[in-house]
Amino acid sequence: MSTSIEVRNPATGERIQEVNVQTTEEIQTAIEKGHKEFKKWSKINAHERSRLLQEWSQRIQENKEEIAKVMTMENGKPLSESLGEVNYATSYIDWYAGEALRVYGRTVPAAAESKRIVISRQPIGLVAAITPWNFPAAMMTRKAAPALAAGCTFIVKPAEDTPLTTMTLVKLAHEAGIPKDAIQYVNGKGSVVGPLFTESKLIRKITFTGSTPVGKSLIKGSADTVKHVTMELGGHAPLIIAEDADIDLAVNQTIFSKYRNAGQTCVCVNRILVHESVEDEFAEKFTKAVAKLSVGNGLDEGTDIGPIINEKGFDKVVAQVNDAIEKGAEVLTGNEYVVDREKGYYFIHPTVLRNVDASMEIMQEETFGPVAPITSFKTLEEAIEIANNTPYGLAAYFFTENYKTGMYLHDHLDFGIIGWNDGAPSAAHAPFGGMKDSGLGREGGTEGIEPYLETKYLSVGNLLD
C-alpha cells in the first residue's frame, strides 16, 4: 500500500500537497482510541457538547476564506461555491449544536399500577464515516455534527482526491476543544480502509456518502458485525417542466441545479422533461443562458464551471455524450473539451442536448458532469412514468404554477427530496436522503440525529401503589 497521497489541483494538474496514508496498524489504533474516548465523550453533558460544537463552527467561519481556497484547489469548484459550501457545512454544526439539547426520552403509561416504563436514548458508540470528493466539507460535517451532538465519537476517511479540507476541519475541531480522539481522520484508499471499518467490532455505525456500488459493498460488509448504516448514494434526478410553468424561473433554477460544481452533485438535475407545448421556449432560453457560463480555474473571478475531478469522471461524461449523439441527440450548445491528459486536467464546456430518449445511457445513469439532456412529454402521467423509471430515488424537481399539478407530482414521484419551483432544496434543518438505490436513512433535520442514538427502555416493577 502506498504511504502517501499526492493531492493535485484538478484545474492545472499541479501537485498541491502530499499527505500521509495511515498504515493498517495506525488505523486500528485510531479505532481503538475512538472507542476508548467514547466512554468519556458520551458522559460529557449535552450542553457542553453543544457549546463545543458552536465553538467549532465559529472557528471554521473565522477561517472560511482559507478553507474555501483549499477546497477550490483540491476539488476545482469556483471559489464562490467553496465559500457557499463552508457556510453550508457550518449550518449542520449549528443545527446539531441545537439538537444536542433536544435528545428527549419519554414515559409510557404501564398496564399495571405497580409498574413504570421509561424510554431513554443513548449514543450508539464509535461512528466511522467515508466521504466523497464533491462536497469535502459539508458531507463530513453533516455526519460529524449529529454524531458528536448525540455523544458518539467519530472517525472519517475522506476521498483521496480531497483530503485537505477534511484535515483542516478536524484540526479546527481540536482547536475548539473537542477531544483529539473524539473526532479523527485517517487517509487511505477506500478499498483498504472500508473493510477495516466494516470488520471492526469497535465501530457501531458506518455512515457513507458516495456511489451506489460502494454503498452496497459497505452494507454487505457491515452485516457480520450487525452495524447500523446510513447510506447517501447516487442519484439520477428528473426535472419536470409543466405546461403552466414560469419558464424564466425554471431556466434560472435549472442552471443552478444542473451546473453547480460542474454538474458533479448527487442532487444535480440529470434529466429535463419538458411539456411539449413549452419545449421550444424552454430549450431556446435555457441554451442561451447556458452558453454564457464561463469555464475555467475556480480561483479565477467570474468562473462558473470548474474542471471535472479526474480522468475517470471525464471519460464517463464524454462517453455518455457520444452515446447520445450516436443515437440521435442534437447538441444545442457545448460538447467542447479542454483537456491535457499528461498534465491531468479535464474541462467540459456546459452542454445541452435535445431529442434524447430512454435508449441513451444519459437517461439511465448518473452523469456527474455539466451536460443537460432535454426530452419532452405530453401528459403528467407520462412525465411521472419517465421520472420514476430509474433505480435511483434521491432528488426530483418540478416547475408548475398550478397547486393541483404540484401536489399530484409530489404525491407520485418516488424521490426523497423534491423541489417545487426550487432548484436548491438542501438545508441543514431538513431531512436529506434518498429512496431505492439512492440510500438508507436521512441526514439533516430532526431526523439526522436519530441514526446516532439507541433506544432503551426501562420497566420498573413492584412499585408502591
Instruction: By CB under 6 A, tell whether 130 contacts ligand NAP.
Output: yes
CB atoms within 10 A of CB 74: 26
Q: Where are the beta strands (DSSP E) in 186-318?
A: 203-209, 228-232, 237-241, 269-275
Q: Is 152 a catalytic residue?
A: no
* Single-letter amino acid, residue 93: I
Asked if residues 230 and 61 have their Cβ atoms less than 8 Å apart, the reply is no
Which candidate, 222, 217, 228, 140, places its Cα nearest to that of 184? Answer: 140
Instruction: By CB under 6 A, tell whether 388 contacts ligand NAP.
Output: no
Which is the catalytic residue, given 55, 85, 99, 232? 232
One character per residue 161-200, x = contact with ligand NAP (rule: CB under 6 A): x---------------------------xxx--x------
Q: Nearer Cβ to ligand NAP, position 159 or 295?
A: 159
Q: Nearer Cβ to ligand NAP, position 327 or 436?
A: 436
Instruction: By CB under 6 A, tell whether 96 contacts ligand NAP.
Output: no
State in angstroms the smallest separation of the CB of 47 from ligand NAP: 30
- Residue corresponding to grid cell 443552478: 256
Instruction: By CB under 6 A, tell whether 445 contacts ligand NAP.
Output: no
Instruction: By CB under 6 A, tell whether 159 contacts ligand NAP.
Output: yes
Residues 213-242 that bind ligand NAP (CB under 6 A): 214, 217-218, 232-235
Which is the catalytic residue, given 99, 160, 266, 365? 266
State in angstroms the smallest separation of the CB of 139 from ligand NAP: 6
Instruction: By CB under 6 A, tell whether 444 contacts ligand NAP.
Output: no
Please enumerate in sequence order all residues whose Cβ is within 8 A of that of 87, keeping only pairs 6 or more positions apart, or say none.
64
Q: Is 266 a catalytic residue?
A: yes
Instruction: By CB under 6 A, tell whether 384 contacts ligand NAP.
Output: no
Task: Give the integer Cα–Cα distance in Å for 125 and 323.
Answer: 47
Residues 18-77 that bind ligand NAP (CB under 6 A): none
Task: Give the integer Cα–Cα distance in Å for 227 and 216.
Answer: 14
Instruction: By CB under 6 A, tell whether 394 contacts ligand NAP.
Output: yes
Residues 322-381 that bind ligand NAP (CB under 6 A): 366
Which candidate, 348, 406, 17, places its Cα nearest to that of 6? Answer: 17
Beta-ladder partners of 206: 128, 229
Task: Give the integer Cα–Cα distance in Å for 423 and 409.
Answer: 16
Which H/E stretch holds residue 6?
A: strand 4-8
* Single-letter amino acid, residue 272: I
Q: Nearer Cβ to ligand NAP, position 266 or 374?
A: 266
Asked if residues 232 and 239 have their Cβ atoms less than 8 Å apart, the reply is no
Residues annotated catalytic, as ranges: 232, 266
Q: Kindly list the residues in this chain that would bind ligand NAP in the complex (CB under 6 A).
A: 130-135, 139, 157, 159-161, 189-191, 194, 209-211, 214, 217-218, 232-235, 266, 366, 394, 434, 439
